[in-house]
Amino acid sequence: MPQKIFKNILIVRTDRIGDVVLTTPSIKALRQAFPGVRISILVTPATYDLVNGNPYVDEILKDDRLGGHKGLFGFLRLVREIRLKQFDLAIIFHTKRRYNLACYAAGIPCRLGYKNEKFGFLLTHPIKDIRALGEKHEAEYCMDVLKAIGIEKGDLDIFVPLQKEAEGWMVHWMQENNLKSNEFIAVHPGASDPAKCWPAADFALLIDRLAERYALKIVLIGSSQTVSLAEDILRQARRQSQILNLTGKTSLAQTVSLLRRARLLISNDSGPVHVAAGVGTSVISLFMRDQPGINAGRWRPLGPKGFILEAKTISGLPGSISVDNVMNLTEQIFQKHGQYEIF
């Protein structure tokens, strides 16, 4: 696939928050390899703010499966919209029948993605999918896809843009709560899979111990699906006066702005981990599963401020992460990355 033929490239990354963030090094590498090419990306409305403002992207397309692209006629509308853009290359990172079929039906001549049972036969340049082995980081797997078009390497620096309205909201929220940047720890107790979640009782105990140890507020964050979990944690926590609950109350863009100003994020293995890493905030990611493909090696937060704790399986028995483990790592991070106040 000679590089000179490409003038108009479509990137397809329509899955969750972390997946989109971890594709940003590949977007940068693509731009550096093809500086004069038009690059567009197809995402869902839910992750639009993660690419809106990315300097390496010329246009953002949205697949709104709950709105204009719902059902068969919505799918055909999506195909037509893609066809009108006259792309000459599609790089399909999100392996779904919908997107392999859409790019084929839209007449994109070169279609690069993973060879699998999800209509992979519609790709012109299928590559072997070994991501389930978990031998590399997801960002590296994304970069490996680009080898098929002659891009052999690129840095793994991730990029998360800020949105002006969300920045304004964050400034106002901090003023309302008499807070400044770095005066709070963000805690994200949710995840896409309950098996990835640290117990609510442990989060409650951790929050109490953080509140007792440091002169910092604790801010609970998460989507609307995390609200009941956060309420359970609040019922068990004792230091209510130091806790602010924002679960279900912030947009993704507002969460980005909040994490940029947090002293630390403590979270299950989930999207906010990668957002925090992308805006330069220290983060502890808790990995409750020790299995190939969903392991820390593939999904750890990137960068010098990304830290992990793993519940390692021992003799076939599931491991655990103690509150002491998290407290000790928090102490090490604070000592390494700046001063902090202790009660």
Q: Are residues 126 and 269 in the same domain?
A: no
Q: Are residues 139 and 200 in the same domain?
A: no
- CATH number for 117: 3.40.50.2000
Could you tell me if residue 108 is inside a domain?
yes
The predicted pLDDT at position 317 comes to 65
Q: Are residues 15 and 134 in the same domain?
A: yes
The predicted pLDDT at position 2 comes to 47
pTM score, whole prediction: 0.93
The predicted pLDDT at position 315 comes to 60
**Residue that terminates a domain, selected from 149, 180, 213:** 149
Lookup result for tokens 């392991």: 295
Could you tell me if residue 157 is inside a domain?
no
The predicted pLDDT at position 5 comes to 77
The predicted pLDDT at position 341 comes to 52
Q: Are residues 171 and 37 in the same domain?
A: no
Reading phi first (left if > 0) and then psi (alpha if -120 to 50, else beta), residue 209 is in: alpha
Residue 270's alpha-carbon distances to 21, 288, 300, 315, in angstroms, are: 11, 11, 10, 27
Total tally of structural domains belonging to the chain: 2
pLDDT along the chain (343 residues), means of 10: 76 97 97 95 97 98 97 97 98 95 97 92 94 94 95 93 98 97 97 90 97 95 95 93 95 98 97 97 94 90 96 74 96 79 47
Q: What is the 3-state secondary structure (H, E, C) of the chain?
A: CCHHHCCEEEEECCCCHHHHHHHHHHHHHHHHHCCCCEEEEEECHHHHHHCCCCCCCCEEEECCCCCCCCHHHHHHHHHHHHHHHCCCEEEECCCCHHHHHHHHHCCCCEEEEEECCCCHHHCCEEEECCHHHCCCCHHHHHHHHHHHHCCCCCCCCCCCCCCHHHHHHHHHHHHHCCCCCCCEEEEECCCCCHHHCCCHHHHHHHHHHHHHHECCEEEECCCHHHHHHHHHHHHHCCCHHHEEECCCCCCHHHHHHHHHHCCEEEEECCHHHHHHHHCCCCEEEEECCCCCCCCHHHHCCCCCCEEEEECCCECCECCCCCHHHHHHHHHHHHHHCCCCCEC
Q: Are residues 115 and 221 in the same domain?
A: no
Q: Are residues 175 and 89 in the same domain?
A: no
Q: Are residues 242 and 126 in the same domain?
A: no
Could you tell me if residue 136 is inside a domain?
yes
- Whether the CB-CB separation of 330 and 284 falls below 8 Å is answered with yes
Could you tell me if residue 256 is inside a domain?
yes
Q: Are residues 141 and 287 in the same domain?
A: no
Q: Are residues 75 and 118 in the same domain?
A: yes
Could you tell me if residue 154 is inside a domain?
no
Q: Are residues 186 and 122 in the same domain?
A: no
Which tokens go with 123?
A: 């790709």
Q: Are residues 211 and 68 in the same domain?
A: no
Could you tell me if residue 158 is inside a domain?
no
Rounded to 5 degrees, what are φ and ψ at 17? -55, -55
**Residue that terminates a domain, selected from 118, 149, 180:** 149
Domain that holds residue 306: 164-336
Q: Are residues 88 and 182 in the same domain?
A: no
